[in-house]
Amino acid sequence: MSAEASTTSSAAEFPHIVGLLSELNSGNAFGHFLHRWESAIYALIVILVLTVVARLATMKCEYVPGRLQSGAEFFVSFINDFVCSILGSRGREFTPFIGTIFIYILAMNYIGLIPFFKSPTADLSTTLGLALIVFCYIQYTGFKELGFAGYFDHLMGQPRGAMAMTIIMPVFMLLLHIVSELVRPISLSLRLRSNIYGDDVILALFASWGLKDGFLWLFPNFLLVLLTSTIQAAVFSILTLVYFSLVIKHDPAH
């Protein structure tokens, strides 16, 4: 049974460097380590690449920027404008976090499209970790903005009207919102993981048909996966942004 499951799993994805090294070292501690932490290894590779790119883009900031600096400045400006369009003047406080989440997820989605690499976001442990970081930061922001009592008052729902005279409705809304908060990291992680894993499976399936029969399907679907990978990174980031908008104090003018 385990052999059949292993075969099915390997057929559902492209061969990648860490997986191949894990198979070559199967039966020893190094192979077990690679198999267990393969997604974390690729996530670390993405971090290292993004760190190098960011360092190169900001190492020598010039008045007349070069291509890399111009691209970085345009990207940061675009993300900041988008965040501020939703959160108002408070948006600049959250641009670094939202921008980092978007760039990191986008890079992890794309790395799986490079031969012999794997998307860490096709693993639930990666997406759940990201969703829990978002969840914890949002709860921290809510308590910081509204205070302990104010945050729970917020969870009871506003406005309450005549129903506030009874204890039943506020308590019901409190329980409903607590469940909603707890479900968010699950929905965020499953949505991202399922879409990226599904894209990987589809591309691997078409590639298994061979060059003659599979290329006609592989190439257009590769372009489609590029688009969906971008969309999924954007969806995760936009939902995170919306969750922040629900717990911060907004500028009255905005």
DSSP per-residue letters across 56-70:
HHHTT--SS--HHHH
Kindly tell me if the per-residue pLDDT of 6 is higher than 50. no
Cα–Cα distance between 1 and 8 in angstroms, integer?
11
Specify whether the CB–CB gap between 204 and 14 falls below 8 A. yes
Angle formed at CA 182 by CA 176 and CA 185, multiple of 5 degrees? 140
Instruction: Classify residue 250: in a domain, yes or no.
Output: no
Q: What percent of the chain has pLDDT over 90?
A: 40
Among candidate residues 141, 121, 152, 130, the one with its CA nearest the CA of residue 42? 121
Q: What local confidence, expressed as pLDDT, does residue 160 receive?
A: 56
Q: What local confidence, expressed as pLDDT, does residue 220 receive?
A: 81
Q: What local confidence, expressed as pLDDT, does residue 95 receive?
A: 93
Instruction: Classify residue 61: in a domain, yes or no.
Output: yes
Instruction: Classify residue 226: in a domain, yes or no.
Output: yes
Average pLDDT over residues 194-200: 90
Cα–Cα distance between 54 and 244 in angstroms, integer?
26
The Cβ of residue 67 has, within 10 Å, a number of other Cβ atoms equal to: 8
Query: How many angstroms separate the most distant Cα atoms in the chain?
Result: 72
- The listed range with the strongest mean pLDDT (3-7, 86-90, 171-175, 217-221) is 86-90
Cα–Cα distance between 203 and 197 in angstroms, integer?
10
Q: What local confidence, expressed as pLDDT, does residue 161 receive?
A: 56
Instruction: Calculate the alpha carbon distances from 229 to 69, 119, 175, 191 in Å.
Output: 24, 10, 35, 12
pLDDT tens figures, 200-247: 888 877 777 766 666 677 778 888 899 999 999 999 999 999 999 888
Among candidate residues 38, 53, 34, the one with its CA nearest the CA of residue 106? 53
Instruction: Classify residue 102: in a domain, yes or no.
Output: yes
- The listed range with the strongest mean pLDDT (54-63, 69-78, 100-109) is 100-109
Average pLDDT over residues 58-86: 84
Encode 216-227 in three state secondary structure: HHHHHHHHHHHH
Q: Which domain holds residue 198?
A: 2-245
Instruction: Classify residue 253: in a domain, yes or no.
Output: no
Q: How many domains is the chain partitioned into structurally? A: 1
Phi, psi of 16 (to 5 degrees): -135, 165
Q: What local confidence, expressed as pLDDT, does residue 177 receive?
A: 82
Instruction: Classify residue 213: in a domain, yes or no.
Output: yes
Instruction: Calculate the alpha carbon distances from 62 to 14, 58, 158 in Å.
Output: 42, 9, 49
Instruction: Classify residue 251: in a domain, yes or no.
Output: no
Supply the pTM of this predicted model: 0.85
Instruction: Classify residue 90: in a domain, yes or no.
Output: yes
**Count of H helices and E strands in the chain?**
9, 0
